[in-house]
Amino acid sequence: GKNKKSRADASIAQQNQEVYQPTTVDFEIELPYSIPSDGKARAVDIKSESVTATYEYFAAPKLEEAAFLTAYVTDWQELNLLDGEVNLFFEGAFLGKSLLDTRSMGDTLDISLGQDKGIVVQRNKLKEYSSRQFLGKNKTENRAFEIVVRNNKPQAVKVLVQDQFPISTDKNIVVEDLSYPGAELEADTQLLTWRLELAPREERKLELRYSVKYPRNEVLILE
């Protein structure tokens, strides 16, 4: 769902030293803590880092009319992150818990921040361009859809929107007359991708159209 200038900031000063061993990292906490001897576990801050992240919204309204935000952090290996449960916060709000598994990470650390209702996504069938025609032994279904993406947030955002044309595995069923202004089309998967940059409060309308020709005695469900 990408705002390249966004920054995740932390204001707590680092209060520890890192001691590297061949297979471990020890954190020596320099800030003194008073821990009661009551047998209960206590959580203490051992390290705080400020890192630059890029943000991307993703929406596939054919499946769900919602936008989901992901944060991407590069050079995360230098942070010496530990595997385990993490608490997620965004814009001061607690989003929930997740699991961090550094063994499955690539060069970029992807952090899913869930759905953001500040980005509104709708997919509507354009009835005036949707029709059915009969010609000989065949019939043709025409379909058109409009995707509306609205940024209700006070800052500009980047949104990746995807949809898909039907794929035929039957030579008697032909998908043709494809129209997808402003989108990239992946030929093998028929996947459509729009890369949007939306100003605050901006709304963008996207459109896709296609036709399917098939034997008139068959029944197809097209959406």
Residues 37 and 138 in one domain: no
Residue 103 included in any domain: yes
211 has a pLDDT exceeding 50: yes
- What letter does residue 39 receive in the DSSP assignment? S
Same domain, 85 and 176: no
Please indicate, yes or no, whether residues 79 and 151 belong to a single structural domain of this protein.
Answer: no
pTM for the structure as a whole: 0.75
What span, in angstroms and rounded, lies between the C-alpha atoms of 118 and 152?
5
Are the CB atoms for 210 and 177 separated by under 8 Å? yes
Between CA 181 and CA 187, with CA 185 as vertex, the angle to 5 degrees is 145
Pairing of strands 93-100, 84-90: antiparallel
pLDDT tier at 215 (50, 70, 90 boundaries)?
A: very high
Note whether 17 and 97 are same-domain residues. Answer: yes
Rounded CA separation 18/28 (Å): 6
Tell whether 62 is covered by a domain. Answer: yes
Contact between 159 and 132 (Cβ < 8 Å): no
Of the candidates 77, 93, 116, which is a domain's last residue?
116
Token pair recorded at residue 77: 């290996």
Query: Is 152 among the domain residues?
Result: yes
- Asked if the model's pLDDT at residue 3 lies above 70, the reply is no
The alpha carbon torsion through 94, 100, 104, 108 (nearest 10 deg) reads 50
Number of domains in the chain: 2
Domain match, 107 and 130 both: no
Provide mean pLDDT across the span 144-166. Answer: 97
Question: The domain that contains 138 carries what CATH number?
Answer: 2.60.40
Name the domain boundary from 116, 140, 160.
Answer: 116
The percent of residues above 70 in pLDDT, for the chain, comes to 89
Look at residue 13 and tell me whether its pLDDT is greater than 50.
no
Per-residue pLDDT tens digits for 168-181? 999 999 999 999 99
Nearest to 123, CA basis, from 222, 202, 207: 207
User: Which carries the bigger pLDDT value, residue 6 or residue 51?
Assistant: 51
The per-residue pLDDT of the chain, averaged, comes to: 85
**Domain assignment of residue 1, yes or no:** no
Query: Where is average pLDDT lowest: 4-18, 31-45, 124-138?
Result: 4-18
Tell me: do 68 and 163 sit in the same domain: no
Residue 188 is classified by DSSP as T
Report pLDDT for 30: 74
**Structural domain boundaries enclosing 105:** 7-116
Q: Does residue 155 lie in a domain region?
A: yes
Specify the range with the lowest mean pLDDT, choosing from 86-95, 154-163, 184-193, 198-207.
86-95
Q: Which of 21-35, 128-142, 162-176 has the lowest mean pLDDT?
A: 21-35
My answer on whether 108 and 76 are in the same domain is yes
How far out from the chain centre does Cα 6 lie?
16
Query: What pLDDT, on a 0 to 100 scale, did the predictor assign at position 7?
Result: 39
